[in-house]
Amino acid sequence: MKKIWIATSNAHKVEEFQKMLGEDVQVCCLKDLDQEVEIVENGKTFEENALIKARSLYDVLHQPVISDDSGLEVDAMDKAPGVYSARWMGEDTSYDVKNAQIIKNVEGKTRTARFVCVIAYIDENGKGHTYRGEVEGQINDKILGSNGFGYDPIFYYPEYGTTLANVSSEMKNKVSHRSRALEKFLKDWRNK
């Protein structure tokens, strides 16, 4: 069984990665370590932040590591919250509040938006690689759906005719920004 470390403590991300990587891959995360790993996300791009996270864990383990940095870019908000998606309006602010604010911010404006995910991979030799995935959509006019997490309840995906929080995790994972980045990563990883 292949093993991969992911530089995250986010249980939702770990679960998504495990589903997408399959049962023949053991996914380990920061919670599986017996020590703290300090990660300072001070990059200006998704690529920079993903590499910072992966490098921080690689420097502790000296084993192959992946991480991702992802977020929502809303065109009417100059691509905010972007790399600050998790910290926008404060890390302790609920996504219900954040989602309601974004809906308010786009009233009467263009609703186009995209989810972006960059997966960084530090290989066994310490070399960094990045893989970018995006999914285009719109900001819905109301919070809709109870699946998914974060901004999924306001991200309307036209091909499904609803938000990503209003479809099954299997349907979401077929088109998500994370699955698109992961697909690119897996082509490289499985060929090694």
The annotation places the binding site for Mg(2+) at: 69
The annotation places the binding site for substrate at: 8-13, 70, 149-152, 172, 177-178
Residue 106 tokens read as: 């786009």
Q: What is the pLDDT of residue 192?
A: 64
The annotation places the binding site at: 8-13, 69-70, 149-152, 172, 177-178
Q: What is the pLDDT of residue 97?
A: 97
Q: What is the pLDDT of residue 100?
A: 97
pTM for the structure as a whole: 0.90
Q: What is the pLDDT of residue 20?
A: 79
Least Cα distance to 17 among 165, 117, 150 occurs for 117
State how far the Cα of 18 lies from the Cα of 144, in Å rounded to an integer.
Answer: 26
State whether the Cα torsion 37-90-79-135 is positive or negative. positive
Three-class DSSP labels, the chain: CEEEEECCCCHHHHHHHHHHHCCCEEEEEHHHCCCCCCCCCCCCCHHHHHHHHHHHHHHHHCCCEEEEEEEEEEHHHCCEEHHHCCCCCCCCCCHHHHHHHHHHHCCCCCCEEEEEEEEEEECCCCCEEEEEEEEEEEECCCCCCCCCCCCHHHEEECCCCEEHHHCCHHHHHHHCHHHHHHHHHHHHHHCC
Count the domains in the chain: 1
- CATH number of the domain bearing residue 32: 3.90.950.10
Catalytic residue (one of 32, 68, 69, 92) = 69
- CB 121 within 8 Å of CB 129: yes
- CB 105 within 8 Å of CB 74: yes
The domain in which residue 172 lies consists of 2-190
Q: Is 69 a catalytic residue?
A: yes
Q: What is the pLDDT of residue 105?
A: 98
Q: What is the pLDDT of residue 153?
A: 97
Q: Which residues in the chain come in under a pLDDT of 70?
A: 192
